[in-house]
Structure 1
Amino acid sequence: MDNTDRSWMYRRLENGFLSSEFCVGVETFVSFALSHPECLLDGKLRCPCNRKKCRNKCFEEAETVKFHLGRYGFVPNYYCWQFHGDQYVPPMFPNFNMEAPSSSTCFVNRSTQQEFIDPIQSDQYFCNTEHGNTYFDDTNQNETNEFAEENPHTDSGNDDPQSPNSPVKSLYEMIKSAEKEIWDGNPHGHSLLSVLARLLKMKQEHNMSERNYNDMCQLMSELCPSDNSVPESFYATKKLIKDLGLPVEKIDVCQNNCMIYWGEDDSLTECKICQHPRYRRSRRRSTNRKTQTPYKKMYYFPITQRLQRLYASTATASHMRWHKEHHFDGETMTHPSDSPAWRHFDAMHPSFASEIRNVRLGMSTDGFQPFGQSGQQYSSWPVIVTPYNLPPWMCMKEEYMFLTVIVPGPHNPKDKLDVFLQPLIAELQSLWCSGVQTYDMHSKQNFNLRVALLWTISDFPAYAMLSGWSTAGKQACPHCMSDSNAFTLPCSGKTSWFDNHRKFLPEDHPLRRNRVMFIRGRRVLDPAPIVKQGDELLNELEEYGFRPSYEVDSETINKEIASYVQCGWRRRSILWELPYWSTNLIRHNLDVMHVEKNVFDNVFNTERPTSFIRLA
C-alpha cells in the first residue's frame, strides 16, 4: 500500500461492509504502531478510534484496537499518526502547518476540526482546535529526547522573526485602537482603554447600578467634545472589554453541590444525582434558559488566554525564562526551580523540559467569609494558580496570581470541591497534551505552549479536600498513613499523636531508647515509614475502587469502601486525572503561615520557661 495516500482511513464501508482496502490499512497501521515501542505502554498502543472514551487517550491491546477501528472508524483528520511514532506529514492536505516543525515532534494544524470537537470539554487530545496543534504526550517515563539533551535551551527550530499569530495580532490591533485619545487634544491624554478601566473600577468600588453607570456615561459624553469616544452604556463597555479575550464562564450548579451543568450535562434541567431542579420556579413558566434563574452558579476564568498574555507583553515575556536562566549555586534554594521536585519533573518529562517557555503552575485554595465574622455566615472558596516561570519578586505579586474558580457558598464544599474543579482540570489536560499556539514577544517567535501543574498549596483541612485523604482520626498523617502510632485519650476520647515523632530520629539516637521523657516505659525501635510514590498511591486507589466525587453514586460507594478497608482514603481526587500527576515528586504542600503559627509557636511556647511568657 502506498504510505503517502492515507485517504483509505475514512473510506471504511463499502456497500454496508468493511472495505478490503480499509482492513489492509488497519493491519498496516497496527504493525506500524507496534514497531515504535517508545509509543507503547506495556505492549499496548493508543486507540485512535472515534469512540468518545478512546480518541488516542487510552491504551488497548492490538486486537481491541482493530475491533474499535472497524466499528467506530478513525478519529477525524488523523492523517499524521503522531501518537504512534509517525513523523510523516502528508503534503496532499493543505491544512497542515508546515512551518519549522521540531525534529522530535510532529505538529499538525487542526483548524478544520472545530465542527467535530468542543474545545472546553475534557477531551485531552482534541481541544483548543481554533489555533492549537496536536502534540505527542510524554507521560511515558522511559522516554528519551536527544533533541532536548543537545539543545536544552532551544526556543524553536527557526530563529528568524515571525509575525504574531492571528489572535495575538487582533489583540495588538485592538489595544492600539483603544490607546487613541478619547478625543484629539484632551489635556490629560486619556485613552478609551484608560477611561474604561477607571469607570469599571469606580463601579466596583462604589457598588454602582447599571442605570447609574449609564447615566454617568451619558453625562460624560455630553460634557466632552462631539467627536469623543466615551462609551454610551454599560453594555457598550462590556462589548469593548470582551474583545480583550479574557472570558469568564458562568456555570450553573446543583444547590446541593452534587454536580455542575457543564459539558455533556449542560442541557439537564435537574440534578442527575439528587434530582433537585436546576432553576427556580417562576410565574411565567418560561422554557428559555436565558430568562430562568438557577439556584446556584459558579464562575470559571480560563487560564489559557492569561498565560498567552504573559508572552504577548514585553514587560513579562523575557522574565518567563528566568527559572532556567538564573544561576543556582547548588546550596541555597531561591526559587522552586532549584528544588529537587522541579528537577525530578524535568527528568521524567524531557520533551516538556526541552522548551523552557512551557509554564509550570502551582494551585492554592482556602475559604473566606466575604461578609466578615459579624455578617451573614457565608463561606466562599477561590482557587488561584500562579506561574512559577517568573522570578520570585514577580510570581508572588497579586497581578500574577490568577483567580480561576470561585466556588459558591454558603457552606464549605468539603469533599465536593472536585465538582467545581472539572473545567480547570479539563483545561490543564488540554494544555499538557495539545498545547496552544502562542506568540513570544521577546524572541518574536510562535511556539506551542504547554502547561503543567506541579503541586497544590493549602492548609491541613484543605489538603483533605484536594487530595482525598482524610485529615481526621488516627490515620490523619499523610506521611505515616497506616503506620501511625496515634492513640485515644481515655478520659476525653480524643485522638492524640504524642510521641509519634521519635521514629524519624536516626536509629542510634539516644532519645529513641528514653523511657522517661516521653510515654513512660516506651522505647521506639521501629524505622520511619517509607513515603509512597505517586504510582503506588494511584494503584492503591484503583485497587480499592474509590471514585471521584462528581460521579453518580460516588458518595455511597466511597463510604462503603472506606468503612470496609479501614484506610485514610475517602475518595479519588480529580487531580489524578492529570496524566503526569502520579510522576510528581511532591503533589501537595502546607502553606508557610500554618506551619509557622500552628506548629512552631505552640512548640516554642510550650518549651520556653514561664518567666519569659509575655502577659497580655
Structure 2
Amino acid sequence: MDRSWIPKSKPGDLEYMAGVKEFINFAIKNSGGRTRLPCPCFRCHNFLHKRVDEILNHLSRSAFDITYTVWIWHGEDMEGSSRKSVEEDEGPSVDEGDRLEDMLRDVHGKFDENPSTFEKLLVDSEKPWYKGCERYTRLSSVLRLYNLKAGHGLSDAGFTEFLEVVKDILPSDNVLPSNTYEAKKILSSMSLSYDKIHACPNDCILYRNEHESLQSCPVCNASRYKKKEGVPAKVLWYFHIIPRFKRLFSNAGDAEKLTWHHNGRIKDDKLRHPADSPQWRFIDGKFPEFGKEERNLRLALSTDGMNPFRSLSSTYSTWSLILVTYNLPPLLCMKKYMMLSLLISGPKQPGNDIDVYLAPLIDDLKMLWDSEVYDAHRNETFNLRTLLFCTIQDYPAYGNLSGYTTKGKHPCPICEDGTRGK
C-alpha cells in the first residue's frame, strides 16, 4: 500500500485526502469491530483513541504523523503486512517470539506526558539490527537476548561479555549495545514501577506516609539504617499492582481471557476451577453488584519464605507474596499470569508482623474500587474492582497471615477444641 503521500502532501491536497481515505478503510477492516481507534494525526500521535469520524476530522485539519509509516496500531506487523491476512493464510504462529508489537501497543498509554521517550522506543523498534537484517531490530534483539539472560540466570558481568562477543561477530555497523547497562537503559522505559520501602528491622513499621521522614522506629527506637549511613536496615520491595492490572486490560487478548470464568468455562456442576465452587456462588449472591461485572477480579494471595542463598546454615530469609488471578483458566492463572507483589528480605522472617508489610498492597486494592481501567477488548473504560477470594500457604504461614495460633494443643482451625493429639 502506497505511503508516499504521508511526507509529501498536506491536508487539503487531493493526494492527501485519497491517502487518508485509503488509511481509514484499512483501519476499519482491521479494527476487529472496535468503535474507537488510535488517531494518527500530528497532534494525537496514536496516543488518543477516537471514533472513525473524529479521526477523519482530525486528519482533515492536522497533518498525518510523518513518522507513522508502518501502521502497527491499526493492524500491521513490523514488516508492513496485515496481521489478519497472515493469520488467515498461514494460521496462528506457533512461535510468538517476543510479541513486540503487542508490547508496544500495551505500553504506549504510559507515555502520554513524555511522548519523546516513546518516539525513541519506536525508532529502536524499527532500526535494523545491522544493515540488511530483516528479522531483528535493535529493540527486538535486545529484548530477546535479555530474556535469555533472565531465563538462565546469567549475571550482569556475564551478560556484558556475551554482548561483547555477539557484537564482535556481527557486521561492524550493528546497533547492539556493548554492555548490560546500555541494554537495561533501552528496556527501562517499558518496565513497570516498584518501590523500595524502608522497614524497621524488628518489623514494627514501614517508613512511609507519616513515618517517611523518621530516622528511627517510634515503637522500638531501632535505627532506620545500618552502621553505614544511608544503607537501610531492612527493605520491602513493592511492585505496584494497579499499573499491572491496567496493562493486562490494555491488551485485547488478555482482557478477553480475564472473562473466561464467565464466558469460557464449562458449567456442568463439576468442580474443575475455583469458579465452580460454592464460595464463588456465595460471593455472587452476597455482593450482586460485584458479581454482575465479569471483569472484576478475584484474587488468591500466596506467601512463603525461602533462603535465596541455598544454604541451610544461613539465617537470611526472603518472603515473597504472589497474587493469582482466578478469572483466568487453570493453565494461565497458575503459571503465566501469577503476579509477584511483595518481597520482604532480611535476617529473619516477618512472622505475625507480616501485616505491616501488607499495608501498601491493601491500599492499592482499596484504590482499585475507584479506578477507571481501559478494556482494549471492548474498547471502553470501566470501574475495576478486586476481591481477595482466598489465601494459599503452608500451615505455619497460615498462622502468620490469619493471626490464628497453629501451635499448641488446639492448632487446627477447623477442629479447635476437638483436636486430637498423639
Q: 2:183: which partner in 1? A: 237
User: Does residue 400 of structure 1 match 2:347?
Assistant: no
- C-alpha separation between the residues in 1 aligned to 2:324 and 2:124? 28
Aligned AA (1:249): D
- CA distance 1:375–1:204, change in 2 (3 Å): farther
2:347 match: secondary structure: coil
- CA distance 1:203–1:404, change in 2 (3 Å): closer
Q: 2:324: which partner in 1? A: 386
User: Does residue 196 of structure 1 match 2:131?
Assistant: no
2:404 match: secondary structure: coil
Deviations 1:152-197 (CA, angstroms, capped at 9, x unpaired): xxxxxxxxxxx99943887997875554333342265254144234
- CA distance 1:256–1:475, change in 2 (3 Å): same
Asked if the contact 2:317/2:348 (under 8 Å) is kept, the reply is: yes
Residue of 161, 167, 173 corresponding to 2:110: 167
Asked if the contact 1:165/1:439 (under 8 Å) is kept, the reply is: no
- CA distance 1:457–1:372, change in 2 (3 Å): same
Asked if the contact 1:168/1:439 (under 8 Å) is kept, the reply is: no
- CA distance 1:250–1:463, change in 2 (3 Å): same
The alpha carbon displacement at 1:316 in A equals: 2.2
Deviations 1:517-574 (CA, angstroms, capped at 9, x unpaired): xxxxxxxxxxxxxxxxxxxxxxxxxxxxxxxxxxxxxxxxxxxxxxxxxxxxxxxxxx
Aligned AA (2:294): I
Asked if the contact 1:258/1:419 (under 8 Å) is kept, the reply is: yes
1:316 match: secondary structure: helix
- CA distance 1:299–1:356, change in 2 (3 Å): same
1:241 match: secondary structure: helix
Structure 1 spans left out of the alignment, 5+ residues: 1-98, 100-162, 286-291, 487-495, 499-616
Residue of 271, 276, 298 corresponding to 1:360: 298
- C-alpha separation between the residues in 2 aligned to 1:174 and 1:354? 42
Asked if the contact 1:385/1:404 (under 8 Å) is kept, the reply is: yes
2:198 match: secondary structure: strand
Q: 1:461: which partner in 2? A: 396
Asked if the contact 1:245/1:305 (under 8 Å) is kept, the reply is: no
User: Does residue 266 of structure 1 match 2:238?
Assistant: no
- C-alpha separation between the residues in 2 aligned to 1:207 and 1:256? 34
Residue of 371, 375, 378 corresponding to 1:443: 378
The alpha carbon displacement at 1:454 in A equals: 1.1
Aligned AA (2:392): I
Asked if the contact 2:138/2:175 (under 8 Å) is kept, the reply is: no
- CA distance 1:469–1:232, change in 2 (3 Å): same
- CA distance 1:201–1:261, change in 2 (3 Å): farther
- Count of residues in Structure 1 that have an aligned counterpart in Structure 2: 314
Asked if the contact 1:252/1:260 (under 8 Å) is kept, the reply is: yes
The alpha carbon displacement at 1:238 in A equals: 3.4
- CA distance 1:228–1:415, change in 2 (3 Å): same
Asked if the contact 1:485/1:497 (under 8 Å) is kept, the reply is: no
Structure 2 spans left out of the alignment, 5+ residues: 1-49, 51-105
The alpha carbon displacement at 1:205 in A equals: 4.1
Asked if the contact 2:235/2:346 (under 8 Å) is kept, the reply is: no
- C-alpha separation between the residues in 2 aligned to 1:465 and 1:420? 12
- C-alpha separation between the residues in 1 aligned to 2:137 and 2:289? 46
Residue of 281, 300, 304 corresponding to 2:227: 281
Q: 1:182: which partner in 2? A: 129
- CA distance 1:311–1:265, change in 2 (3 Å): same
Farther off after superposition, 359-368 or 193-202: 193-202
- C-alpha separation between the residues in 1 aligned to 2:326 and 2:389? 9
Aligned AA (1:246): L
Deviations 1:497-532 (CA, angstroms, capped at 9, x unpaired): 46xxxxxxxxxxxxxxxxxxxxxxxxxxxxxxxxxx
Farther off after superposition, 193-202 or 443-452: 193-202
- CA distance 1:447–1:350, change in 2 (3 Å): same
The alpha carbon displacement at 1:318 in A equals: 1.8
Q: 1:151: which partner in 2? A: none
| Structure in which a larger fraction of residues adopt helix | 2
- C-alpha separation between the residues in 1 aligned to 2:156 and 2:348? 28
Asked if the contact 2:253/2:377 (under 8 Å) is kept, the reply is: no
User: Does residue 470 of structure 1 match 2:367?
Assistant: no
- CA distance 1:309–1:164, change in 2 (3 Å): closer
The alpha carbon displacement at 1:427 in A equals: 0.9
- CA distance 1:423–1:237, change in 2 (3 Å): farther
- CA distance 1:196–1:405, change in 2 (3 Å): same
TM-score by length of 2: 0.65
- C-alpha separation between the residues in 2 aligned to 1:368 and 1:335? 28
The alpha carbon displacement at 1:392 in A equals: 1.5
User: Does residue 246 of structure 1 match 2:189?
Assistant: no
TM-score by length of 1: 0.46
1:254 match: secondary structure: coil
Larger Rg, first or second structure (1 or 2): 1
Residue of 354, 357, 365 corresponding to 1:417: 354
Q: 2:60: which partner in 1? A: none
Aligned AA (1:409): G
Aligned AA (1:313): N
- C-alpha separation between the residues in 2 aligned to 1:313 and 1:175? 18
2:320 match: secondary structure: strand
Residue of 320, 337, 347 corresponding to 2:285: 347
- C-alpha separation between the residues in 1 aligned to 2:349 and 2:150? 29
